[in-house]
Amino acid sequence: MEDKLKELDIPFLYVTDYLEESPLGKAESLLTLSEVIGKRVGCQTISNYLFVLMNSPPCYTLEEDY
């Protein structure tokens, strides 16, 4: 496949970030793709949100306090 893409002068990029096992690692793979399509700013915001969410202490509901 790679040879055919080169022959046709089609640029390509190997992306293996999706093989990450952690959810945050998988989310970060979106940053790679968003950079390629020029949408990194929006994706960076989502990635930052996921990082904070995954590294925050657990939340408890009122029912657990009783």
Domain boundaries along the sequence of the chain: 2-57
| pLDDT reading at 62 higher than 70 | no
* Alpha-carbon span 46 to 38, nearest angstrom: 15
What pLDDT, on a 0 to 100 scale, did the predictor assign at position 25? 76
Question: 16 pLDDT exceeds 90?
Answer: no
**Amino acid in the structure at residue 64:** E
Give the pLDDT of residue 58: 61
Percent of the chain with pLDDT over 70: 58
- The token pair that represents 55 in the structure block: 């590294």
Main-chain phi, psi angles of 12, to 5 degrees: -145, 165
> What pTM was computed for the model?
0.40
Q: What is the pLDDT of residues 43-60, one digit of tens each?
A: 667 667 666 666 666 665
Question: What is the distance between the alpha carbons of residues 59 and 49, in angstroms, rounded to a whole number?
Answer: 16
